[in-house]
Amino acid sequence: MMLKGFSYKLGDDVNTDYIISGRYKFSISDMKELAKHIMEDIDPTFYSRLKPGESFLVAGKNFGMGSSREQAPLVIKEAGIVGVVAKSFARIFYRNAINIGLPLIEADTSRIEENDSLQIDLENGVLKNLTKNTQDNISPLPPVMRKLLADGGLVEHFKKHGGIKL
């Protein structure tokens, strides 16, 4: 599985309330509408700057810390973000993202800057920064994780195969 897109750089400890503010989580149930408020407390123009299908979130350590609500990875996916690259992820956020089919890539993000063009090969474990003409090895995703992502997440995999078929 190959992913391509431009980077939107964030810092360390981006919590789920920064991803989608608590003031919206319970008042908006339509995911398309909820996604319009992604990262609003960090940058009110964030959603308007996204290129759906061509955007990566790039962060430091502990991305997705905080609550275990699925709205955070769901709005990221609904906003058209192709994946999240971070130094590390909060465990429950990582699991929720895989469950819905949102690719998460652990990598050293210190050399990636805002709007860099990235290409990530999940099978072979390669992250290329096309803007800087650099390449880094990352841990390739295990086949089971790639299968779940290809099927759209755990629930979609279950629907497609009538159970867990890995």
Domain of 140, CATH number, reads 3.20.19.10
Residue 88 within a domain: yes
Amino acid at 16: T
Whole-prediction pTM:
0.92
Residues 6+ apart with CB under 8 A from 22: none
Q: What is the largest CA-CA distance in the chain?
A: 44
Residue 166 within a domain: no
Identify the domain containing residue 63 by its residue range.
Answer: 2-161
How many whole angstroms separate alpha carbon 78 and alpha carbon 59? 19
Residues 6+ apart with CB under 8 A from 162: none
pLDDT in tens, the chain (166 residues): 899 999 999 999 999 999 998 888 778 889 999 999 999 999 999 999 999 999 999 999 999 998 777 899 999 999 999 999 999 999 999 999 989 999 999 999 999 999 999 999 999 999 999 999 999 999 888 888 889 999 999 889 989 988 777 7
- Overall domain count for the chain: 1
